[in-house]
Each structure stands twice: as C-alpha cells, then as structure tokens.
Amino acid sequence: MNTIKYKNLSLEANQLLLDMGCGEGRHSIGALLETSANVIGLDLSLEDLSTAKSRLNDFDISGLDTFCTFGVGNIVNIPIQDSSLDAVMCSEVLEHVDTPEDSVKELVRVLKPGGVMALSVPRYLPELICWKLSQEYSKTPGGHVRIFKHNQLKKLAVENGLTYESFHWAHGLHSPYWWLQCLFWETKETSYIVKLYHKLLVWDLMKQPLLTKILEAILQPFIGKSLVMYFRKPI
C-alpha cells in the first residue's frame, strides 16, 4: 500500500513528478504505473537507487508513453531548475533531516506555481511510543531525529508559501509492528511475535484480504503510522 494518494497530486498526462527521497522506488514506480506522469526519483543512497532501478526493470513498461528515472539528489540542493515540476512528493524524509525548513524551501523552489506537494512523516503518537519503547530506535544511524505534530508539519509548509489542501493517515496496521520491534529491539530479528506480525503485513500486501482492509479502516484514525498532507503552490 502506498503512503501517498496519487489522485491528490492532480497530475495530467506527461506532467513531471518528483519523488524526493525515493528510497527503493516504491512511490516512484507506483506513480509511473498508476498515473500518466513522468517521474524523477532522487535519493542520496546509491544502494537504494540501485534497488529502485532493479525493481523498475521487473515491470514491462515498454508500452508506456511516460518514463521513470532515478538519480542522486540532496533535498537541500535539488539539481533541478526553479519552477520545473508539476508535482512533488516527499514521503518519510523530513523526520531524518537536520534542517526541515531548508528542505521544504527547496521543494517549493522546484515546484511550479499551481503544482501540488505531498509531504508525509511518521504520525506523532505512534512515533512517540516508538521513542519511549526503545532509546536505540532514534539513535540508529540515518534514523529519525525529530517527531512532527500535525500543526508543525502544516505550519512548516504554509510558512514556505504553500496553501494547505487536505490530509489523511496511512498504514494503521504498521504501528503495532514498529512497537513490537522497539519492544524487542535486541532480539527483533529472531523474535517470534515480530516475525508473526510481519507475516500478517506481507499477507495484507500480497493478498489484500477483506479482514485486513477492515482492520486498517478501524485503526487508521487512531494509530495510522503516517501523516500525509497535501499543499498547493499559489499561482
């Protein structure tokens, strides 16, 4: 399941979408397959970019009129000209960076007037529980260095000139998995209960059964793992 809802990006045929901090390409490839946009995925991790390119090759995209390309890019110095992109998505990145203000400012710079930006971060309460359950969770190299409250993320974007449009939560089933990992941090790789819950998530991803859809809908308002917000750059 994707964190970002592509329909909220208001993309039209052959428009250009940036996935900043694309990681292993989940959202980039999803956008290529589910929209009619061209996609650029940027990240600092060469290993993740290699995985993203490999995953893209697993799909037959020969019949598509659009493209998806991956490359190295830093969120505070994006190698793209001003006002070049029709939409930007930045999923689960801002909690990792030292200067989220500079990061959002740079994302706004490359977005065209009228374009939509999607930002997602770990939701405050589920993330706070992770920090409380394990001190090591937030100390992992390259890990989370801050927790955003709803109004903090909104304010960050609005103060950089964007207009707020909507929000939703995502991944209600994922919060308990991360809590279990934090609770059994030292043995999470071998913990039976962590492995069992992971099997549930894989079953949900691969089979999308009615049971997990119902559970996800029930849990989403209370413990959805991600907070996702959509903004528009004024014309």
Size (the chain), residues: 235
Residues in the chain, pLDDT under 70: none
Nearest 5°: the CA angle 28, 222, 152 is: 65
Amino acid, single-letter form, for residue 39: V
Q: Which residue reads 């937030």 in tokens?
A: 138
pTM for the full model? Answer: 0.96
Predicted pLDDT at 233: 98
Predicted pLDDT at 202: 96
For residue 177, the SS3 value is helix
Whether 89 contacts 10, CB under 8 Å: no
Predicted pLDDT at 190: 97
Residue 102's Cβ-count burial label (10 Å; 0-12, 13-18, 19+) is: middle
Distance, CA of 202 to CA of 119 (rounded, Å)? 25
> Smallest Cα–Cα separation from 32: which of 81, 59, 68, 60?
68
Distance, CA of 14 to CA of 27 (rounded, Å)? 17
Task: State the DSSP H helix or E strand holding residue 55, giving kind and residue range, or none if neither.
Answer: helix 46-57
Domains of the chain (ranges; CATH) run 6-232 (3.40.50.150)
Predicted pLDDT at 1: 73
Predicted pLDDT at 128: 98
